[in-house]
Chains A and B, each alone.
Chain A
Amino acid sequence: MIVAEIKPFEEIKNMIKNYQKVLIVGCGSCVTVCLTGGERQVELLASALRMARKIEGNDITVGELTIRRQCDPEFIEQIKDEAAQYDVILSMACGAGVQGIAERFKDIPVLPAMNTMFLGVSDGQGTWVEVCAACGDCILWKTGGICPVARCAKGLVNGPCGGSQGGLCEVSKDVPCAWQLIYARLVRLNLQHFLKDISQQKKQPVRPRRLVREDLRLKKEPTKGV
Chain B
Amino acid sequence: MGFREALYSGKFLITAEIGPVKGTEIDVLLEDAELIKGKVDAINVTDLQSSVMRLGSMAVCHLLKDHGIDPIFQLTCRDRNRLALQSDLLSAWVLGIRNVLALTGDHPTMGDHPEAMPVFDLDSVSLLRVICRLNEGFDMGGNQLKGAPDFFPGAVVNPGADTEAAFEMQIIKMEKKIEAGARFFQTQGIFDLDLFERFMKRVEGFKTPILGGIILLKSAGMARFMNKNVAGVFVPEPLIKAMEETKDKVKTSIEIAARLIKGMKDICQGIHIMAIGMEDKVPVIMEKAGLL
Contacts and interface: CB of A to CB of B under 8 A. Distances in A.
A196 interface: yes
Contact of B169 (A157, A171, A183): A183
B237 interface: no
A157 B123 CA distance: 8
Contacts of B173: 158-160
A177 B129 CA distance: 25
Nearest to B109: A171
B107 to A, nearest CB: 5
A219 B165 CA distance: 54
Contacts, number: 94
A201 B109 contact: no
Given A167-B165, A180-B165, A196-B175, A158 B231 contact: no
B162 A165 contact: yes
A71 interface: no
A104 to B, nearest CB: 33
Given A164-B231, A201-B122, A154 B107 contact: yes
A161 interface: yes
A184 interface: yes
Given A154-B107, A198-B179, A198-B180, A160 B169 contact: yes
Nearest to B78: A154
Contacts of A157: 123
Contacts of A184: 165
A127 interface: no
A117 B101 CA distance: 36
Interface in B155-203: 156-158, 161-163, 165-166, 168-170, 172-173, 175-176, 179-180, 188
A163 B106 contact: yes
A158 B176 contact: yes
B121 interface: yes
A160 B125 contact: no
Contacts of A201: 82, 121-123, 126
Contacts of B107: 153-154, 163, 170-171
Interface in A156-195: 156-167, 170-171, 177, 179-180, 183-184, 195
A180 B121 contact: no
A204 interface: yes
B118 interface: yes
A196 B176 contact: yes
B270 interface: no
Interface of A: 153-167, 170-171, 177, 179-180, 183-184, 195-196, 198, 200-201, 204
Given A163-B106, A180-B163, 19 more contacts: A153-B109, A154-B104, A155-B120, A157-B123, A159-B173, A160-B169, A161-B124, A162-B161, A164-B162, A165-B229, A170-B110, A171-B107, A183-B169, A195-B172, A196-B175, A198-B125, A198-B129, A198-B180, A201-B126
24 contacts: A153-B109, A154-B78, A154-B120, A157-B123, A158-B124, A158-B125, A158-B176, A160-B166, A160-B170, A161-B124, A162-B156, A162-B158, A162-B231, A163-B106, A164-B166, A167-B166, A171-B109, A184-B165, A196-B172, A198-B125, A198-B176, A201-B122, A201-B123, A204-B121
